[in-house]
Structure 1
Amino acid sequence: MSNRIQRVRHELKRRELQVVDVRHLTPDYVSVTFKGETLHDFVSSSYDDHLKFLISDEERRDFTPRSYNNEKRELTIEFALHATGAASDWARQAAPGQSALVAGPRGSMIIPMDYAWHVLAGDASALPAIRRRLEELPAEAQVQVLVAGPEAAALSFDSAAQVSLQRYDDGQALLTAIRAMALPAGVGFFWFAGEASVAAQVRDAVFGDKGHPREAARISAYWKQGASGHHEDL
């Protein structure tokens, strides 16, 4: 199978922004909208792009651009709050008027929308990308969504596509479901993001047990238990 994913590069820029809106979508999931003239040429071409949120000179974290509007000069990022961590601590106290600094995305992997089917799966860290992709997919798209955690239970997943949504209590239950699922017929795309140890087992199940081609999948570790700032494509 040929690789249909298009890789594009973007000019890397640091952008000074100001918080204009903070919404607590669940007790541990916060949507923050930033505004600034520096967003006039912001580009994010794929739903799983990552930009750097610069908390301080020493602390920076990867986040998915949930949505953006060049004309309004606005960018929204969603934060899944953990008990500890620099990004969670910042988002927990975020308020309009505060300043922020972001950089990127450095590039995008543009995944076509016309696959016969799509699987989108992950824990709380994957929810911004999954929610963005669902909003972008066309009405004819066939999508299976498998998500884990209390945030997933409380959030909405809006889409014009034909969506089958399954929610699980935690990453292990999600992993069990992925192992048990039969992938649909035809050429489809499998996407997963979550904790590193779970992501590695998902990789082994999808590529090994199910024999799904690597050219039609993207499996990523968005975080690692006990580590900070971890991101790895598997």
Structure 2
Amino acid sequence: MMTKIHDTADTPQWQRLAGAAIGGGEARMTRHQITRVRHETRRRTLTVDRIEDVTPGMRRIHFTCADLADFASAGFDDHVKMFIPGPVAPGERGMMRDFTPRRFDQAAGTIAIDYALHDAGPAVAWAIAARPGDSLEIGGPRGSAIIADDFDWYWFIGDATALPAIGRRLEELRDGVPAVSFVLVDSPAEAQEIVTQTDWTPHWVVRSGSDDAANLIAATADVPLPRGDGFIWIAAEAGVARAVRTAIEARGHPRAWLKASGYWQRGDEGVHVKIED
């Protein structure tokens, strides 16, 4: 089945860019298509406007940016490269970390980024110490993988580092579509309220022991896969994401409708791993 794309002033950025990537606003998009688009990358300076603690373990920093008019982030799990302020030795690049744009408004020149505070890395240290007026630079996103909003249902599985992308997707999906999330958290206090028009069923999986993969696999195993065509998105520590993907595939879900990513790797939190094997 083919879906015809008509651009209007209210068309979401992801849909406009997907249409352009396959031939313009009148192009026909194949059902369940995943469209990849590239963006021109350059650095932008962000300035802290205000700070919001969404939960005890999740800090949202709202930034302003005078150079956001042509900022492109069409995929809910896009990431920007954040350049951590600090001394840099000659010939070195300095500290960088990847973060999902949780929310942005090009016209208003604002962007929000969430920081999971359980990580003790340099980006989180900066976020903890940040005050209004502080600034840093970002680059990207380099590109977007645009997952069509025409599946019958969606599952989202991950740890706290996946929550910014999950929250953004829940806010962007169409009205009434069934969406289920399984998010590993340290305590019930980390459950977030997310405003969404989807038919959302959240499962807040409180961590028990040290085997994060076992926690998430057990939580998902108790829930039958819905009827129809569904897309399952997974993001967590690389080894955990790989184990969860294997468990989901063993239940017969098509690999083409499954995406797994390592948002960090044990022993090297700055690594972002695309899981394809």
TM-score range, shorter chain: over 0.9
One-letter identity of the residue aligned with 1:154: A
Deviations 1:19-51 (A, max 9, x none): 111111222210001112111111110110011
Q: Paired residue for 2:111?
A: 75
Is the 8 Å Cα contact of residues 153 and 228 (structure 2) preserved in structure 1?
Answer: yes
Change (3 A) 1:76 1:216: same
- Give the equivalent residue in structure 2 for 1:200: 242
Q: Which residue of 1 aligns with 2:202?
A: 165
Deviations 1:193-218 (A, max 9, x none): 111121111121122x1122221111
- In terms of mean alpha carbon deviation, does 104-113 or 78-87 score higher? 78-87
Q: Retained in 2: the 8 A contact 1:7–1:109?
A: yes
- Tell me which of the two structures has the higher relative contact order, counting C-alpha pairs closer than 8 angstroms and 6 or more residues apart: 1
Please identify, of 50-59 and 123-132, the stretch whose mean Cα deviation from structure 2 is larger: 50-59
Report how many aligned residue pairs link the two structures. 233
1:41 aligns with 2:77: no
Shift of 1:126: 0.4
Distance in 1 between residues matched to 2:223 and 2:199, nearest whole Å: 18
Alignment of 1:130-209 (within 5 A): 130-150=166-186, 153-170=190-207, 171=212, 172-207=214-249, 209=250
- 1:17: Cα distance to partner? 1.6
Offset at residue 90 of structure 1 (A): 0.5
Partner of 1:16: 45
Give the Å deviation of 1:131. Answer: 0.6
Partner residue of 1:213 out of 241, 249, 254:
254
Give the Cα separation in 2 of the matches to 1:140 and 1:149.
Answer: 26
**What SS does the corresponding residue of 2:69 show, helix, strand or coil?**
helix
Please give the TM-score of this superposition, normalised by the length of structure 1.
0.94
The structural deviation recorded for 1:220 is 0.7
138 and 83 in structure 1: CA distance in 2 versus 1, 3 angstrom threshold: closer
| Structure 1 residue ranges (4+ consecutive) displaced by more than 4 angstroms after TM superposition | none
Superposed CA RMSD in Å reads 1.8
Mapped to 2, the partners of 1:90 and 1:77 lie a distance apart of: 13
- Asked if the contact 1:34–1:75 (Cα under 8 Å) also holds between the matched residues in 2, the reply is yes
Identity, % of aligned positions:
39
Cα distance in 1 for partners of 2:260, 2:111 equals: 25
* TM-score normalised by structure 2 residue count: 0.80
